[in-house]
Amino acid sequence: MEHVTLNNGVVMPVLGFGVYQIPPEQTEQAVADALAAGYRLLDTAAAYGNEAAVGRAIKAGGVPRGELFVTTKLWVQDAPAEDNARRSFETSLAKLGLDHVDLYLMHQPYGDVYGQWRAMEAVNREGLAKAIGVSNFYPDRLLDLILNNEITPAVNQIETHPFFQRAADHDLMREHGVQHQSWGGFAEGRNNLFTHPVLSDIGRAYDKSAAQVVLRWLIQRNVVTIPKSVSPDRMAQNIDLFDFRLTDDEMARIATLDTGASLFFDHRDPQMAARLGTHRLEG
């Protein structure tokens, strides 16, 4: 496994296992299989509804806590956001059954971002979250947060895949010491990603799949990635990436696939901002 070092010295695997959209009743087994396959970065969120299942798998898995890197995320909080964010963090920690998380992310750039961030800074200073960061922040919102707070986010987790490569976002993050992390690395199979002729042709040279080429491409761009699967065979394939390296020409061919637009939704869209910014989690 390769690693990156975050802006506060915390070491993070470049490849992890995400549990977005895995039902809670399937999550425990999926995480157990991922741990058995060698994954050590686990990514969940309060909004996914499966933190408790992730925690059970960690407890049963037998992997020493010091070898794991566990991420969860804070959903948008009502006022007073600082107090509610702290309670939400403590709820997530209890569901996971852990005494700390390695990374705590603000899931959406909505609501009282600054109140939420102050609560996150506090849990970071107390060692309850070894690193803190954000998710779904476009460059303007990210830079504003950096300039007006004491702690710079360690990570920004954003939609990133061959069809939406986020080059400008990547450059700004690198300039300010924020680690770029991808969600949706496979674009949920859209644009025929798994059979795409460019990706498949590159893969044939290494006896690798299009999916493996995408993950290798992300890693070589210094983008942390968290592919999801409930298939042990696919999990094993997704982590089998460290015996080949794409050439500059192959990286350039993949660069031509960028459309510059989301395949899902734009967080700057007013309707989406209203929908996500007013949604609250039950319990």
Which amino acid is residue 220, in one-letter code? Answer: Q
Helix residue ranges, H only, the chain: 24-37, 51-61, 81-96, 113-125, 139-147, 167-176, 197-204, 210-220, 232-239, 248-255, 270-278
Of residues 20, 39, 48, 110, which has the active-site annotation?
Answer: 48
Ramachandran region, residue 21 (left: φ > 0; alpha: ψ -120 to 50; beta: rest)? left
Q: Which two tokens stand for residue 118?
A: 């102050």
Q: Pairing between strand 11-13 and 3-5? A: antiparallel
How many residues belong to the chain? 283
Give the DSSP letter string of 236-251.
HHHH--TT----HHHH
With a CB cutoff of 8 Å and minimum separation 6, the contacts of 249 are none
Phi, psi of 159 (to 5 degrees): -55, 120
Which of 281, 235, 239, 238 is CA-nearest to residue 29? 235
Closest CA to 40 of 219, 186, 226, 212: 226
Q: Are 86 and 50 in contact (CB under 8 A)?
A: no
Phi and psi at residue 11, to the nearest 5°:
-100, 130
Please give the backbone phi and psi of residue 229, each rounded to the nearest 5 degrees, phi first: -160, 155
Active site residue 48: yes
Positions annotated as catalytic residues are 48
